[in-house]
Amino acid sequence: MRLRRSGTLRRGGWAIETTDMEQAERIWTDVMDQHEYEAGPLGPHPVIIDAGANVGVASHFFQTRYPDAIVLAFEPGPQQFKLLERNLRRNRMDRVVPFRAALAAQTGRMPFHVVERGSWGDALVRHEWMKDVAVSTIEVPTVQLSSLLRGPIALLKLDIEGVEADVLAEAGSALRHVGRMVIEVHGSSQNPDNTMERVAGVLHRQGFRFQIHQGDREVTLASITRTDPHWLIVRAWRGDDPLGGKGWPGEG
């Protein structure tokens, strides 16, 4: 297992401090260059939830793409949260509000597993990839998604490492306040209840249409390649979205 290489990623006048340069470079490519979290037009003064904000690359994308948005950025890892705050100040991302908390099915405190060597995977769930690496466990504050959905949310981005189904199920009918979502769904034998089928069920019940992407292809529930672990991107929009799904994903 390689050691993390800390440093500052510099791109286009922006400087993102990170504990893992390789990870940050890959995230920057996915988010900033390939527009992984592009959500099309969101209307004036949108509110965006960035859950699993890490060191702030996605929040930077949202503030750049939607300059009049307010971004609520949630990151539970103490080291990552410190860097998130530092990067927000350094890059003058003053419309991003950071919260040191994880989204979960219940409010309170929960064990959070931190991979001490390597790039990926700090999580509330002890995943398959943690079996043969050094992992420390701390407690982090948790909040319910439903408590954040008391007014219109233009975009909900979830990258919460394996608790997507529980978090969406807890929110239930409060998801009526959400216009669009970009969800990373993490499947793993260590967390068998976090399935795309559960996520799809919640989305259907709450009136969302959606597309599932695995790698560079669109897939159906039946055609997902279920490696252990596997990873999906889900783009969801309400059935009454005025765009009707047309023009999104894509350029706004």
- Domain hosting residue 101, numbered range: 29-238
- Type of residue found at 144: Q
pLDDT of residue 111: 87
CATH number, domain of 48, equals 3.40.50.150
Phi-psi region of 215 (alpha: psi -120 to 50; beta: other; left: phi over 0): left
pLDDT of residue 217: 93
- Type of residue found at 11: R
Residue 16 belongs to a domain: no
pLDDT-based confidence at residue 133 (cuts at 50, 70, 90) = low
pLDDT of residue 251: 40
Cα–Cα dist 209/13, whole Å = 37
Residue 23 belongs to a domain: no
Residue 134 belongs to a domain: yes
Residue 158 belongs to a domain: yes
For tokens 């954040």, the residue is: 148
Residue 180 belongs to a domain: yes
Cα–Cα dist 248/246, whole Å = 5
Residue 15 belongs to a domain: no
pLDDT for residue 45 is more than 80: yes
pLDDT of residue 248: 58
Residue 148 belongs to a domain: yes
Q: How many domains does the chain fold into?
A: 1
Residue 50 belongs to a domain: yes
